[in-house]
Chain A
Amino acid sequence: MLSNHSSTIAALEGATKAYGTHRVLEAFDFTLEAGSVTALLGPNGAGKSTVAGLLTGRLQADSGRVTLFGRDPSDQLARARLGIMLQAGGLPETLTVAEAVDLHAGYFARRLPTAAVLEQAGLTALANRRCDRLSGGEARKVQFALAIAGAPDLLVLDEPTTGFDPDARRAMWDVVRAKADAGAGVLLATHHMDEAEALADRIVVIAGGRIIADGTPAAIKAQVAATAIRLRTRLPAERFRALPGVAKVETVGADLSVLTTAPRASLEAAFAIDPALQHFEVTGASLEDALANLVQSNRTALKEAA
């Protein structure tokens, strides 16, 4: 299936979507490729779920073109190749896990056998449990099982591992990875940076309805070249927010974590306002920090432009 790897399976071309007078997306272009995991990151309200909603046909674009497997997303032939895990997904309370999976799989001609779906989703032991007797994490697994049951060519996962323990998360990541390696496209909307870093071939960062970064996880990290400085100080965090280069300040235990694009200038300024500063530690930023920095500098750029 490697031959499919560079083919576009879903696209937004100049898509615009507004809720009332609030424009979430404007002239938005985006494509998804087969055989790769694309993580959609960004602050709440940035337009992540709108992008996913347009591609899956849950939402209608006000203008522009949306295609899924070369068709309109509401086309039955397009939906037959799509597996979705919504963020808020209820289950038929009185059906068993196996019955619910079997019913949903039955909508797809290429469906996987129920036993195989349950096994992949880690639900074999719960096959005969009623859906209203599942824990939050177990119910989430059933949602995932429904998404993969039709052997989809595009898997759209919205915050898939919320409520999972570390083992369950890794198990699900393995299954998603295997689906992508077998040729499926995966769109992953998540708040968990470690999830994006572990799973994604490509990270797309959205803020304010625009793509502000698009690349491999390594490229995204390199693009910002941010540095995290950990300080022990008696001064309040606010004093450090105004320092040159500083994108974000967080309290971490007894310390402050200062994210900066100009570590030298920031450190010098920090010594100037707190001559008593003794303990500090300078490290490369995590992906999470890099993203916070990206979003922050995008905001600043927009303000300056306005």
Chain B
Amino acid sequence: MMSDVLIAPAPAVYARESWAEIIKSARMPQFIIPTIALPPAFYALFALAMGQGSAEAATRALATFGVFAVMGPALFGFGANIAAERESGQLELKRLSPMPAGAQIAAKLAATTAFSMVAFVMLYALGLAGGVALTAGQWVMLAGVHTLAIIPFALIGLGIGYRLGQKGAIAVANIAFLAMAVLGGLWMPIAVLPQAMQTIAWALPSYHLGEMALMAAGQREAANLWLHAGPLTLITLAAALFAWTGERQQAK
């Protein structure tokens, strides 16, 4: 077959692209330090040092900081990097090559997952040291919610990266990063915020993911799962549309 002679096997391309994406980012200290080290550092400072040894406070904070840890790699890895690669023409060269269309996104997803995992491991280790005691099932569910969080944030990052130049994308990703962390209640419960701000939380994926992570860790009534899974699904679909229309826009 002609295609066997001409087209490289897709799994191999996906694997190489993913590996390249990981080493590309790992060699950028300005990327790696804030996105991976910041969440565990904040967790150690705010939740553990200031929580005065309360295991409950440490558990709650672990649930929401896990969501926070995903946002950096996803928003910056997708948003800022895609914008830079688009601006420099790298994306175009790949688009005109026989690389399978999905390899680029899959590779970024793999890199985001890898960097998030590193942050999770540090966070979970700190949590254990700080007195967090979860059952094996709770750990699995918590890690599941944290991993799931990659998808909506990556889609939002993509939508930003396809629309803006590198500098604009970094600026917008920063604003989105901080707004979703604070208004989504990842650093402190939204109950401490003014009423109007609490309403905004319902439109943010970070809020619903944080609540779901708290449920996984046994800190919230799991019967209310649909209250958050429903809006999260809608927000994720909207984010997918945001990313897809951005992709269409730049493909012209």
Q: Which residue numbers of A lie inside 8 Å of B, CB to CB?
A: 56-58, 76-77, 79-82, 84, 86, 88-95, 99, 103-104, 106-111, 130, 146, 150
Contact = CB atoms under 8 A, between A and B. Distances in A.
Contact of A56 (B5, B17, B96): B96
B96 A94 contact: no
Contacts of A90: 84-85, 87-90
Interface in B42-62: none
Given A106-B13, A110-B5, A92 B99 contact: no
A76 B7 contact: yes
B23 interface: yes
Contact of B24 (A81, A92, A108, A111): A92
Interface string B93-117: 1101111100000000000000000
Secondary structure type dominating chain A contacts:
loop
A49 to B, nearest CB: 13
Give the bracket for the number of chain B residues in contact with chain A. Answer: 20 to 34
A109 B1 CA distance: 12
A230 B12 CA distance: 62
Nearest to B16: A106
Secondary structure type dominating chain B contacts:
helix
B33 interface: no
A108 B98 contact: yes
Contact of B28 (A88, A94, A107): A94
| B7, B8, B89, B96 interface centre (most CB from chain A within 10 Å) | B96
Contacts of A111: 8
B7 A80 contact: yes
B93 A94 contact: no
Given A82-B96, A99-B20, A91 B8 contact: no
| A57, A84, A103 interface centre (most CB from chain B within 10 Å) | A103
Given A108-B8, A109-B7, A80 B98 contact: yes
Contacts of B6: 77, 80-81, 108-110
Nearest to B252: A60
A104 B17 CA distance: 9
B92 A58 contact: yes
A92 B104 CA distance: 13
Given A90-B88, A90-B89, A99-B20, A107 B99 contact: yes
B27 interface: yes
Given A88-B89, A92-B90, A79 B16 contact: no
B188 to A, nearest CB: 36
A92 B87 contact: no
Interface string B140-181: 000000000000000000000000000000000000000000
